[in-house]
Chain A
Amino acid sequence: MKIGVCVKQVPAKDAPLAIVEGAAWIRESDIGFETNEPDSYALEESLRLKEKHGGEVVAISMGPDRAKQTIKEALAKGADRGIHVADDQFYKLDPLASARSLAAAIKGENFDLILTGLQSDDQGFGQTGVLLAELLGRPHATIIMQIDVVDGHMKLKRELEAGWFQWVELPLPAVLSIQSGINKPRYATLKGIMAAKKKEIATVSRASLGIADAPTQRVERIYVPQKTKKTEFITGQPKEIAAKLIEKLKHEARVL
Chain B
Amino acid sequence: MKLLLITEQREGKWNKVTFETLAAAQQIAQHTNGSLSGVVLGKGVAPLADELAASQLAEVLLVEHDLLEKYTPDGFSLALRQVIESAKPDLVLLPHTYQVRDFAPALAASLGKGMIGDCIAYRYENGKLIFVRQMFQGRTAADVVFAGDAPWIATFQAGAFRADLAAKHTSGKAPVNSLSVQLAPEQIRTKPLELFREAKQAVDLTQAPILVSVGRGIKAPENIPMAEKLAKLLGGELCASRPICDEGWLPMDRQIGSSGQTVAPKLYFALGISGAIQHVVGMKGSRTIAAINKDQNAPIFEVADYGIVGDLFEIVPAIIEELEKTGHS
Contact = CB atoms under 8 A, between A and B. Distances in A.
Interface in B125-163: 130, 133-148
Contacts of B253: 163
A133 B193 contact: no
B19 to A, nearest CB: 15
A219 B104 CA distance: 20
Interface stretch (A59-67, A197-205, A221-229): A221-229
B143 A217 contact: no
B101 A130 contact: yes
A255 B210 contact: yes
Interface in B112-129: 113-118
B63 to A, nearest CB: 21
A229 B302 contact: yes
Which interface class (under 10, 10 to 19, 20 to 34, 35 or more) fits B?
35 or more
B318 interface: yes
B190 A217 contact: no
Given A238-B314, A245-B319, A253-B267, A168 B117 contact: no
A168 B70 CA distance: 11
The prevalent SS among residues of A at the interface is mixed
14 contacts: A123-B135, A124-B136, A127-B115, A130-B73, A133-B106, A139-B73, A164-B196, A165-B197, A169-B193, A184-B247, A215-B148, A221-B143, A223-B142, A231-B307
Interface of B: 15, 73-74, 77, 97-99, 101-106, 108-110, 113-118, 130, 133-148, 189-198, 201, 210, 216, 234, 242-243, 245-248, 252-253, 258-262, 266-267, 287-288, 290, 295, 297, 299, 301-310, 314-315, 317-319, 321-323, 326, 328
Interface of A: 11, 13-14, 17, 19, 24, 26, 37, 94-96, 99, 121-127, 130-131, 133-135, 139-143, 155, 159-171, 179-181, 184, 214-225, 227-235, 238-239, 241-243, 245-246, 248-249, 253, 255-256
